[in-house]
Amino acid sequence: MHPILFELGSLKIYSYGFLIALGAIAGVTYMAIRGKREVGLTFDQANTLFLLLFIAAFVGGKFFLFFEDTAYYSEHPRKLLTGRGFVFYGSFLFAVPTMLWYFKRNKLPVYAMLDIMAITTCLVHFFGRIGCFMAGCCYGVVTTSAWGVTYTNEACVAPLHTSLHPTQVYEAGYIFLVMLALLLLRGKRKFYGQLFITYVLLYAVGRYALEFFRGDLERGFVINDYVSHSQFIALLIFGTATYFYVRLSKRNSIALHKKPI
pLDDT, one tens digit per residue, over 5-16 is 777 777 777 788
Report pLDDT for 13: 77
Q: What is the pLDDT of residues 124-137, one digit of tens each?
A: 999 989 988 988 88
Angle between helices 15-39 and 110-135 (to 10 degrees): 170
3-state secondary structure of 14: strand
Domain spans in the chain, listed from the N-terminal domain onward: 4-251
Confidence band, pLDDT 50/70/90 cuts, at residue 46: very high
Alpha helix (H) ranges present in the chain?
A: 15-39, 43-68, 70-75, 77-82, 88-105, 110-135, 167-186, 194-210, 229-251
Confidence band, pLDDT 50/70/90 cuts, at residue 1: low
Report pLDDT for 25: 92
- Residues forming beta bridges with residue 6, ordered by sequence position: 13
Taking 70 as the threshold, does the pLDDT of residue 144 lie above it?
yes
